[in-house]
Amino acid sequence: MRRAVNNQSRANGLFGIYVHWPFCVHKCPYCDFNSHVPNSRSLGAAFDEREFVESYKNELRYFAKLKPNEIVNSIFFGGGTPSLMSPQAVGAILDEIALLWQVDENAEITLEANPNSTEVARFKGYKAAGVNRLSIGVQSLRSEPLKALGRAHSVSEAKSAVAIAQSIFERTSFDLIYARPEQTLQDWRVELNEALDMAAGHISLYQLTIEQGTRFFDLHRDKKIIMPNADLSADFYQLTMQICNEAGYPAYEISNHAEIGQESIHNLLYWRYGEYIGIGPGAHGRLLLNNVRHAMANEKLPHLWHKKVYANSNGLVTNDKLTWEEEGDEMLLMGLRLKEGINPKRFEMLSGRTLSQYQIEDLKGYGFVEELNNGNIRVTESGFSVLDAVVADLAA
């Protein structure tokens, strides 16, 4: 049902900054993120970290003019491999953010790191620079899968990096990839329990997906790697939910698990459809300007982004105004990943229409969604395995 759109602010008070560092030592065969091995194509010239940091600062100044007087709830350094940055570079970017905005005293400041020994040596420097949460790309606790995934660290290095991070930072997390080729449910049961014994409040668990443009896509197309079928993938997911629930790490989002109170503020900002600035090559953002939500994206190639920022103070290649319907659809897509679900009244305010009660009842009949006492609608564990279809039904 279409209704008059509520003209109140479309914000929800959540504001964050995403910093994309696009460089990696090498490209992992499963990765479709905007990451580049520094060379003439990605840089166009010899790499100078200080010059790139100046471009990040210039881009921050550009966005500060668009969004002054905000309170920053979270800052996230992602990649690529942000732990290839020097602590001085991280500190310079954080100092610039603090000059331009008020940073909440409880703001979460996360940096993604690899477990390689040279990067682990920087952990104390990141803490001194202002980082208060580290997220480590472990990916597997088994040697052969690490090699197959193209990871440059060993199992012992991964375990050591996690322990060192936990001794330095109050909050840490690490990632694992499961439902890998040739992995069995029993293999995963043992590995996941081992990982949960290592965890300190938060863990991210991603099923391996085959993305176009990756080396794994080519291997899968040529039948050189065989992925679990749909039924086995669902079994992997259900087993993951069961083990994590029993260990006190329920899923607060489809791939993120945490002890109560240890959920990632930055993750929640995305899924609760807050506002965020994206700086760096390939970074995305969502900002409300004059009460209209803008979908923004930067140039992906580092040297071209660097040139654009030098010329224009920003690296934007996309700055689209979203329609009410697009805004509502994005809110559904993001919010239904959360265990807390979505508030139908906020959906109505953003999109100008109500959710179909007929569709809700139909999905409830299949056991895919449920209504909570606070009025929120959320996807059940059974529904998560068909999440895209659930979102499509509710958005129709």
Q: Where are the domains of the chain?
A: 15-270, 337-396
Which residues are bridge partners to 175 per DSSP? 204
User: What pLDDT is attached to residue 57?
Assistant: 98
Specify the 3-state DSSP secondary structure of 371. Answer: strand
Q: In whole angstroms, what is the distance from residue 123 CA to residue 247 CA?
A: 28
- pLDDT one-digit tens code per residue, 357-370: 999 999 999 999 99
pTM: 0.94
User: Taking Cα atoms as reference points, which of 2, 5, 12 lies closest to residue 286?
Assistant: 12
| Chain centre distance of CA 181 | 24
Of the two residues 5 and 300, the one the predictor is more confident about is 300
Query: In the chain, which ranges are continuous DSSP H helix?
Result: 40-43, 49-66, 87-100, 117-120, 123-129, 143-148, 155-168, 185-198, 215-221, 230-246, 265-271, 302-312, 324-335, 344-351, 357-365, 381-384, 387-395
Q: In whole angstroms, what is the distance from residue 315 CA to residue 57 CA?
A: 12
Specify the 3-state DSSP secondary structure of 393. Answer: helix
Tell me the pairing of strands 369-371 and 377-379: antiparallel
User: Taking Cα atoms as reference points, which of 300, 251, 257, 292 lies closest to residue 275?
Assistant: 292
- pLDDT one-digit tens code per residue, 237-269: 999 999 999 999 999 999 999 999 999 999 999
Kindly report the backbone phi and psi dihedral angles of residue 170, in degrees, each rounded to the nearest multiple of 5, phi listed first: -70, -30
User: What pLDDT is attached to residue 41?
Assistant: 60
User: What CATH class does 15-270 carry?
Assistant: alpha beta
Contact by Cβ (8 Å): 315, 53: no
Interval 196-224 mean pLDDT? 95
